[in-house]
Amino acid sequence: MARTLGDVLHHFAPELGPTDPRPAASDDAPPPRVVAVALERGDLLRAAVLWNLAVETARAGAACEALVPVGTMTEAPGDAAPLGVGLIAAAPEPGETLADVARQRAAAAPRAGSEQRRVAMVGVQAADAGGLCASVDLALLVCGCDAASRSRAESVGRHLLRSGAPPPGIVIHGAHTLDEARRAFEAVACPLEHVAGEAIPSYGLLVDDLALYRSVVERRPVGLARPQSPAALALADVAALVAADLGLA
């Protein structure tokens, strides 16, 4: 069942152009936190991770949005947005980045209360990630356990570091044991640590890629559809690590 992001992105949420109207922010709450996930064109798995993480963050109490660049969709968008979290295809204006758009949207988004934190999860094309991730609060590399995926993640990580981004966090997916995940993490973190001169943060592991895919097809995030499944527990763990490091917990 080969699917691309373009096949199913319309299930999530509306596509928004650069002129999407939003109410202006009216409070002096802390600025929104922006988390970037590096993805490839048509990268359904990482888009699903992005969306599910955003939903988990919303479940934990934050006002959250998930954005990916326009251009990966082939069909008209839908409007599924559990807990208010859709996967929004957004187009930055010339001279601004998707992170800028996310920050503006998150700052303007209504909140449940003055204490509610605002978070934006942003998918960025790996090729463009360097400049975009320099201004985000956290950049995540979602990395498989196979050699090709590790090599690709390392390459993107080096690109990020060269571009002035903070050391990217690594989420391992497709591991069958904790030891396999640990070895995959260390294989990528070691050379990146050497380049960065500081620690590369770990953000756990995700299991059961099929459940992630299924969540997209069924338009229901894993944490809501199968809250006791291994995939949901792993997602919640990753989201908790992210929230703790961003000071959201």
Binding site for another protein (CB under 8 A): 40, 43, 45-46, 127, 130-131, 134-135, 144-146, 148-149, 151-152, 155, 158-159, 161-164, 173-178, 181-182, 185-187, 189-205, 207-210, 213, 230, 233-234, 237, 240-241
Residue 177, judged by CB atoms within 10 A of its CB (0-12, 13-18, 19+), counts as: exposed
Residue 176 CB, shortest distance to another protein, in Å, is 5
Q: Is 120 helix (H, G, I), strand (E, B) or coil?
A: strand
Residue 75, judged by CB atoms within 10 A of its CB (0-12, 13-18, 19+), counts as: exposed
Residue 104 CB, shortest distance to another protein, in Å, is 18
Q: Which residue's CB is nearer to another protein, number 54 or number 189?
A: 189
Residue 185 CB, shortest distance to another protein, in Å, is 5
Tell me how far apart the alpha carbons of residues 15 and 111 are, in angstroms, rounded to a whole number. Answer: 22
Q: Is there a contact between 168 and 160 (Cβ–Cβ < 8 Å)?
A: yes
Q: Which residue's CB is nearer to another protein, number 109 or number 234?
A: 234
Residue 18 CB, shortest distance to another protein, in Å, is 19
Any idea what the Cα angle at residue 13 is, between residues 12 and 17, rounded to 5°? 140
Q: Which residue's CB is nearer to another protein, number 79 or number 198?
A: 198
Q: What are 36's two structure tokens?
A: 């970037």
Q: Which residue's CB is nearer to another protein, number 70 or number 233?
A: 233
Q: Is there a contact between 73 and 6 (Cβ–Cβ < 8 Å)?
A: yes
Residue 20 CB, shortest distance to another protein, in Å, is 24
Tell me how far apart the alpha carbons of residues 205 and 208 are, in angstroms, rounded to a whole number. Answer: 10
**C-alpha distances in angstroms, 175 versus 76, 146, 191?**
34, 9, 20
Q: Is 207 helix (H, G, I), strand (E, B) or coil?
A: coil
Q: Which residue's CB is nearer to another protein, number 102 or number 200?
A: 200
Q: What are 230's two structure tokens?
A: 């291994």
- Give phi and psi for 85, each to the nearest 5: -110, 100
Q: Which residue's CB is nearer to another protein, number 120 or number 238?
A: 238
Residue 82 CB, shortest distance to another protein, in Å, is 23
Residue 112 CB, shortest distance to another protein, in Å, is 26
Q: Which residue's CB is nearer to another protein, number 22 or number 176?
A: 176
